[in-house]
Amino acid sequence: MTLLLVRHIVESTGFGLIVAVVASLMRRRGAAVRHTVWLMGAAKFAVPAALFSAAGVWLRSFLPAPLAPYARSAVLTRIVLPHAATTSTLAPTGQVSTLLGLLWLGGSVAMFALWTRRTRVRAGPFTPALACDEEALLRQGRRIGLRQTVGLRYSTARIEPGLSGIYRPTVTIPQGLRNELTPAEFEAVLVHELAHAKRRDNLSTAFVHATVCVFWFHPLLWWIERKLLRERELACDELVLRHCSAPQDYASGILKVCRFHLRVGATACGITSSKLKERMEAIMSFRPGNPGPSTPVFAIGALAFWVTLFPLVGGFLGGPLLAQTAESVRPSSGPNGSARVSCKYRSISFPEGAVIYVTGMKGTQMCVAGPRGPRWDWSEDASRKSRPDLIVLPPEKPIPPCETRPSASRDSCACQSGEFSNGTLVDSAEGKGKLYCDKGQWRPATRTEQGLE
């Protein structure tokens, strides 16, 4: 488990660095596009590739394809299936893993507690908005194509204009600000907050910060969050300028909001957090008739494919083997050069000690050496399923009745449908009841072998 977590962090870090390079190449493109790219970098931390690999394995189990062709896909399995790696040599000791886990959990709990405390800070008491302002909010919402209902209220607290809530968003305006702005400036400020509602910025911001709280120790994720906050404001600025005819009204409104916020006694103006001078230059140089370069659909699609479809396809193609490589399921030689004991299942040979689990079954089977040759030992012991060398197979189809045929080996018995190891119990197609494979020959199974006694 520890190795899977370390691998996930390493993969997410590498993906985040690639996202940073892609975003830096998109300086001339819209801020909304860069925001999407940065958001994908943060989402990679919250979505392990192992989930998509497991989904691919699950989808693969529905296809009636033989397993033999996939027994050679060890390289693919190691690349796209994190659980395919051997954990016995790379996993840290139990005490170190426990201490790291407790430290991680404690940091996450502290981060979530601080976040909850900040979000519970009251901005009230509130007073209802004027009818004319509510009408202006509704009119501007229709202007930018907002379908969601957004409320409007005034607050006596020393806050900036802002949008709160996810399912029921509400624009909060500090009292007195309305008198400081002209109608055009006030409507531009409203459009900026409505742009946040249209883009679902509150939801994406909460998702990213929750991810930061979980991976609080990772500096790259903190940096990505700051980039997202900056691009979020720039993207809203672009949306406002596309629907407002006078960029100077919008820039003037932002400056007056900042001046009002400082005058009422607040220690700092939060609007300056996204580089106020840079924003003013971008606003005044914006040309509505020049939309800029088109959205790089290929780049975003490639990143999305890497995060989702690549591990899904990898799990689909390499899933039947799961934790075992091709070498681990081939019969090997013992110290004296003779062939080691091996058990057959679905026409595949497994070495002695191999444990297989068929999806949907209650127990597992282990290949063991018995007095009559190799056999499968069935057990419902849950500890077997946690072994790092467990071989997971998709659900098996019902074995058809056995039409016996001669076998060339004393280690297995033959049916028309395939070969089975000594100790296998099958139904006879000739009406002889249960058959038991004994030293390469089929014979009627005893009541003990059938589990009746």
How much is the pLDDT for 296?
56
Length in residues, the chain: 453
How much is the pLDDT for 90?
43
How do the domains of the chain map onto residue ranges? 323-395, 398-453
pLDDT in tens, 242-274: 887 688 888 888 888 888 877 654 444 445 445
How much is the pLDDT for 366?
86
- Tokens 């996993």 identify what position? 91
Beta-bridge partner residues of 171: 152, 163
Helix (H, G, I), strand (E, B) or coil at 339: strand
How much is the pLDDT for 331?
40
pLDDT in tens, 173-223: 888 888 888 888 888 899 999 999 999 999 999 999 999 999 999 999 999
- In whole angstroms, give the CA distance from residue 397 to residue 347: 14
How much is the pLDDT for 448?
74
How much is the pLDDT for 341?
64
How much is the pLDDT for 325?
38
Phi-psi region of 189 (alpha: psi -120 to 50; beta: other; left: phi over 0): alpha
Helix (H, G, I), strand (E, B) or coil at 30: coil
Asked whether the beta carbons of 74 and 321 are under 8 A apart, the reply is yes
How much is the pLDDT for 94?
61
Closest C-alpha among 2, 14, 33 to residue 300:
33
How much is the pLDDT for 79?
46
Give the chain's residues under pLDDT 70. Answer: 1, 60-94, 121-124, 245, 263-274, 288-301, 303, 306, 310, 314-341, 346-347, 360-362, 372, 395-399, 450-453
